[in-house]
Amino acid sequence: MKCKSYETFFVNFSNKSKLNIITALRNEPLNVKTITKKINEEQSAVSHNLKKLSACHVLDVKKAGKERIYSLNKDTVIPILRLVEKHVIKNCSGSCCKK
């Protein structure tokens, strides 16, 4: 599947676990264990998600010994999050986005 259909990209932001990872990395690159502790989920689940996130270049990885350090692709992610923040402030002052 190619990126030209954008749905795969957005899936990376459309559930809590993945969004937790993104949030955890907003300020600093982290290794898997630290992410796992920070968001309080199974290591295995985190790894599965990290794989998808980095397949889409939402995250970058680099190896450091036996660790892998994941970092946010800030060029794309930060501006998108900002837009959504703005959207929510403007449109969702009460509660919205109900399922």
Partner DNA sequence: ATAACATAGGATTAAGAATTCATATGAAAT
Partner DNA sequence: ATTTCATATGAATTCTTAATCCTATGTTAT
> Is the CB of 33 or the CB of 86 nearer to DNA?
33
Is residue 86 involved in binding DNA (CB under 7 A)?
no
Query: How many residues bind DNA, per CB under 7 A?
Result: 29
CA distance 46 to 44: 5
DSSP bridge partners of 77: none
Angle, alpha carbons 60-57-63 (nearest 5°): 25
Q: How far is the CB of 54 from DNA (least distance, A)?
A: 8
DSSP bridge partners of 68: 63
CA distances from 89 to 14, 22, 44, 83, 84 (A): 19, 20, 35, 10, 9
Amino acid of residue 41: E
Q: How far is the CB of 40 from DNA (least distance, A)?
A: 10
Considering only residues 23 through 82, tell me which ones interact with DNA, judged by CB under 7 A.
Answer: 31-34, 36, 41-45, 47-52, 61, 63, 65-68
**What residues line the site for a second copy (CB under 8 A)?**
1-11, 13-16, 19, 52, 55-57, 73, 75-76, 79-81, 83-84, 86-88, 90-92, 95-99
